[in-house]
Chains A and B, each alone.
Chain A
Amino acid sequence: MKIDLYERIWMWAASALIVAFAATIAYGALARSYHPPSHVETIDPKQVWSSPTFQPLGVVERADGSIEVRVIAHMFAFQKPEIRVPAGRPVTFRLSSVDVIHGFQIVGTNANTMVVPGYVSEFTTVFDRPGEYLIVCNEYCGLSHHVMHAKLIVTADGS
């Protein structure tokens, strides 16, 4: 079968793009341990406020020394609205929603997950740069969606 030279060029270019994108996904996941939040844990949205897994809210130091941050999303705020974690240590975020689907994005980092009622979203990351980070809801959740935000403070002293 004769295929025109330029047709062949386009075919090879398209194939190379597919291979390149697949390679970057494989490199990120296998060599650099980049994974999307994929934790699966269910919870009754009506029980979130009183659930022991979300009490107390905010930053908790686990028995093994790691940091856990518990956040409840609701229209139109995050509880707690200010989170303070140390730099250079693994921080596990656990989130759930009591009403509708929300988003949880820490601006300027790769931390970004959906917060779905009935499920607990969880991811772990390390913040290397101390400073203040804006947390925003990036899933439209109602008329005051645009005011739904919180603040993350990463401290350098490890406190």
Chain B
Amino acid sequence: MDDPEIRTEHPTGTLALVALMGVLYALGWAAFYFLLYLGRGPLSP
């Protein structure tokens, strides 16, 4: 019985999906920060 094929290269498709989620998260975070948080005006002590 042959050994199953062992793949040693990185899973680039998975990495691309993770990167896409990261970009979407960053864009969402930036939108909340600049449009909502900064748009509401400052608070000073």
Contact = CB atoms under 8 A, between A and B. Distances in A.
Contacts of B44: 33, 35, 123-125
Interface string B15-45: 1000000100000000001000110111111
Contacts of B40: 108-110
Nearest to A13: B22
User: Chain A contact residues: over half helix, strand or loop, or mixed?
Assistant: loop
Interface residues of A, number: 24
Closest 5 CB pairs of A and B: A38-B45, A110-B40, A34-B42, A33-B42, A124-B44
Interface of B: 10, 15, 22, 33, 37-38, 40-45
Interface of A: 6, 13, 24, 28, 32-39, 108-112, 122-128
Given A35-B44, A124-B43, 8 more contacts: A28-B37, A28-B38, A33-B44, A34-B43, A35-B43, A35-B45, A110-B37, A125-B44
